[in-house]
Chains A and B, each alone.
Chain A
């Protein structure tokens, strides 16, 4: 089992719709979680950290479910510019401390 797993997609979503995707992680001791966004052939950029109580940043909402070991990202009122690959990132623990462990990403395509 991979340490961080994501549905690769692509998710094809009409503009204005709401879309959500999850990411599962294997190490129950993990404490820090992030969503990054990566545009085609560009570098990843931090979208948001994920806090235990869930957090919102404009149209984006991130949630953490420790019991089931997954985090989620919800995008409301999607824009064409939201088309990108969304990478789930989990901070390593134990021997993997100091490491960020990355999922392979979920590709999102917003269609007009």
Chain B
């Protein structure tokens, strides 16, 4: 069975551009969460979506947005990119939105802003 898949794996952008990152959850999983992980830090929660609705949002500016599609895949959009947005962006899926559900992570998208 396929795990969580993310695309692209690597991306290089310049300041001011926008980016769209994609995530496909494990089959049967209805919840998708997005995290930002800066080198040397733990993942920082950005969003959680469940059944196409936003269930939680972390402390990130409005430049960050996301959505979930009927097939439970998800996109994370970041506008007006800043140098500080350079990070590993991780997507995790779980069966539902329950906080005790194990989260299964994809390999991440490594975003570099020049």
Contacts and interface: CB of A to CB of B under 8 A. Distances in A.
Contacts of A69: none
Interface of B is mostly: loop
Given A32-B99, A43-B107, A44-B105, A99 B45 contact: yes
Interface residues of A, number: 22
Contacts of B56: 97-99
A105 B58 CA distance: 19
B42 A99 contact: no
Most chain B beta carbons < 10 A, residue from A92, A98, A102 = A98
B97 interface: yes
B106 A101 contact: no
Contact of A97 (B35, B42, B99, B108): B99
A104 interface: yes
A92 B107 CA distance: 24
Interface in B49-104: 55-56, 58, 90, 97, 99-100, 102-104
Interface of B: 33, 35, 40-45, 48, 55-56, 58, 90, 97, 99-100, 102-108
